[in-house]
A = this chain, B = another copy of it.
Amino acid sequence: MGKRKKGCFSYRNFPYSALNTDLYELTMAAVYFEKGMNEKATFSLFIRNYPPRRGYFVAAGLNEAIDFLLNLSFSPDDLAYLESLKIFKSNFLSFLEKFKFKGDVRALPEGSLFFAHEPLLEVEAPLIEAQIVETALINILHFQVLIATKASRCYHAAQGRQLIDFSFRRTHSLQAGCHVARASYLAGFAGTSNVLAGRLYGLPVYGTMAHSFISSFEQEIEAFQAYAEIFPERTILLIDTYDPLAGARKAAQVGQEMALKGYNLAGVRLDSGEMASLSQRVRRILDKAGLNQTKILASGAFDEYKIKQLIEKGAAIDAFGVGTKMGVSADASYLDMAYKLVEYAGREVLKLSPGKATLAGGKQVWRFYDNKGRFRHDVLSLKDEFIPGGKPLLKLFLKAGQLQLPLATLEEIRNNFFLEFSKLPEKFKAIDFKGPFYPVRLSPKLRRRQKALVQLVKKKELGES
């Protein structure tokens, strides 16, 4: 395959480097190391607040996060780089050389629904290990939750119409494009245009044709005919390069030519213009030509809002190519996800920063259902409490760095999402959701302990009594 040129500037071969971290994780670790502070710490990863119009989150990214933890290390080159910074002492670098993640991880299975303040994942590990993995754990889980949640909203808006991920060209990096393909598939999409994601995750891949394909031929209809000749069983013609109705008439002609040869024109694609009436007119052109089986696919700036609007206007669209706005979660491009120390060396801890106060202690989430099996409310408890009548949601995935449960396949995760989503009361799925929020209560014990601890910390740190 030829020798690969060494590039000095690209991200590659580093996915499991423990350098995927913020510098302060390492400087803090160095202080812990010098001070002999490496007792068991519990960190809780959760989302502080809902972004606008969101009333739930879809758990996603756990397989990737666990894969990262299981394979994490500092390579000799990583260590040489750290040494070159002249910040760290050699005994600490020797410690990093042997670094492996040997902690426990409890988490929500992917595809589950969860709510603000609920831990998506908790790490219980020697302090240094738990600290160093902070940046990467947030990064991996934040992005897949963000996209799975956004995609689930598109899935809800589309009311059963097929959705394809078309976002690869404008996701935030190539790696992001693969994660988007995965996260949107697990939240109800039918597949992706992203070929690498197809290979990596076994996703169904879909494609049509670009405007450049049309214009590289002397005439639009020649382009249609050439495609139909080479791919008669998977032809979707892009009809808006010059004029969508003229394009639809040419597509109908090609569809009839295909029918004579025993083939079915699979679809046409609209990528611009006012699609509600346009799609209806295209539908009539196709139907008149006897092409009732030919689907209309639409693409171009779609998201849950535009999908909902077009369906309400009666658009004759069978499938949507959903691109950039889903792939960057454009209306809410980040979540307020945090990873906070809640317990160290058996002592529950918290922070009191304005607007960012945390709940101390390792936790469990208990879900309660109504008599139709729908979510009624959740209770957030301390980790070792038992809350009768509730279902505990966090499961132990890693114990002392060893996998305890087989990781779910993507199909299992997707089925879990469908099941969970069917149990979420409709009001929380509203595209323009404004609250009231799904009820998450604190257990009496958690509430009491939190109150006592806040008083203790205020007394100790602020001299308040």
Closest to A37 in B: B216
Given the known interface contacts A200-B9, A246-B462, A458-B242, the answer about A22 and B352 at a Cβ–Cβ threshold of 8 Å is no
Number of copies: 2
Tell which of B11, B142, B173 touches A170, judged by Cβ atoms closer than 8 Å: B142
Measured between beta carbons, the chain B residues less than 8 angstroms from A410 are 9
Given the known interface contacts A14-B196, A30-B230, A353-B240, the answer about A206 and B127 at a Cβ–Cβ threshold of 8 Å is no
Closest to A234 in B: B87
A386 at the B interface (CB under 8 A): no
A243 at the B interface (CB under 8 A): yes
Among A65-73, A253-261, A308-316, A429-437, the stretch that binds chain B is A65-73
Measured between beta carbons, the chain B residues less than 8 angstroms from A7 are 63, 67, 70-71
Tell which of B131, B214, B334, B463 touches A330, judged by Cβ atoms closer than 8 Å: B334
Interface size on A, residues (CB 8 A): 141
A448 at the B interface (CB under 8 A): no
Among A114-122, A336-344, A362-370, the stretch that binds chain B is A336-344
Closest to A67 in B: B7
Q: In angstroms, how far is the closest chain B Cβ from the Cβ of A270?
A: 10
Is A193 a contact partner of B230 (Cβ separation < 8 A)? no
Measured between beta carbons, the chain B residues less than 8 angstroms from A179 are 11, 172-173
A205 at the B interface (CB under 8 A): yes
A271 at the B interface (CB under 8 A): yes
Highest count of chain B CB atoms <10 Å: which of A27, A76, A171, A229? A27
Is B200 a contact partner of A11 (Cβ separation < 8 A)? yes
Is B195 a contact partner of A23 (Cβ separation < 8 A)? yes
Is A460 a contact partner of B219 (Cβ separation < 8 A)? yes
| Chain A residues at the B interface, C-beta cutoff of 8 Å | 1-2, 4-5, 7, 9-17, 19-28, 30-32, 34-35, 37, 41, 43, 63-64, 67-68, 70-71, 73, 75-78, 81-82, 85, 87, 100, 127, 131, 134-136, 138-140, 142-143, 146, 166, 168-179, 182, 193-196, 198-201, 205-220, 226-227, 229-231, 234, 240-243, 246, 271-273, 324-325, 328-330, 333-335, 337, 339-341, 344, 347, 349-356, 407, 410, 457-458, 460-463
